[in-house]
Amino acid sequence: MSHLPWKPIRLRNLEQQIDQAFDELIHGQWGLAGPSGVWQPDIDIYETTDSYFVEADVPGVPPEEIHVEVDQYSLAISGTRRSGCVEKSAQGVCIERRKGSFYRRFSLDQAIDPHHVKRETQSGTLILKIPKLKQK
């Protein structure tokens, strides 16, 4: 009988995956929110030795409608994508794009510097660079 190598997992990662699974169950992929309700942008988080990098797909959300909250060990991103036809008298024939408010919160493994977050938006993607605090 062979033994599998033990690989420790990051508890915060596991916690986030469980939270996301429940959020998707309640709000997302099974259509319970419908086309006008809660939607959740796809978000990727990367890290280097000195920073976290966040990329969030937020097409159709004006930059001024995206709110970022950062504290020492967590990041929250929220915003609103409004409904969209420029012709106000038009009636929907096929409505697939979700709209409404979203809120995502992530726990981070290392303390971060909330005062030096760099933010930009490119082609519907929010990009954040969040420096880690130096460990003593």
pLDDT in tens, 58-102: 998 999 999 999 999 999 999 998 877 777 788 888 877 788 899
| Residue 106: domain span | 50-82+98-136
Is residue 135 very low, low, confident or very high in pLDDT (cuts 50, 70, 90)? confident
Q: Report how far residue 27's alpha carbon sits from residue 40's, in angstroms, rounded to the nearest whole number.
A: 8
Q: Which of 63, 92, 68 is nearest to 78 (CA)?
A: 68
Give the model confidence (pLDDT) of 44-68 as tens digits.
Answer: 999 999 999 999 999 989 999 999 9
Q: Is there a domain that residue 38 lies in?
A: no
Asked whether the whole model's pTM tops 0.85, one would answer: no
Confidence at residue 89, expressed as pLDDT on a 0 to 100 scale: 84
Q: Is there a domain that residue 66 lies in?
A: yes
Residue 71: which residues within 8 A CB-CB, separation 6 or more? 114
Residue 130: which CATH number? 2.60.40.790
Q: Is there a domain that residue 110 lies in?
A: yes
Average pLDDT over residues 100-109: 92
| Domain count for the chain | 1
Quick one: residue 124, left, alpha or beta (phi over 0 = left, psi -120 to 50 = alpha)? left
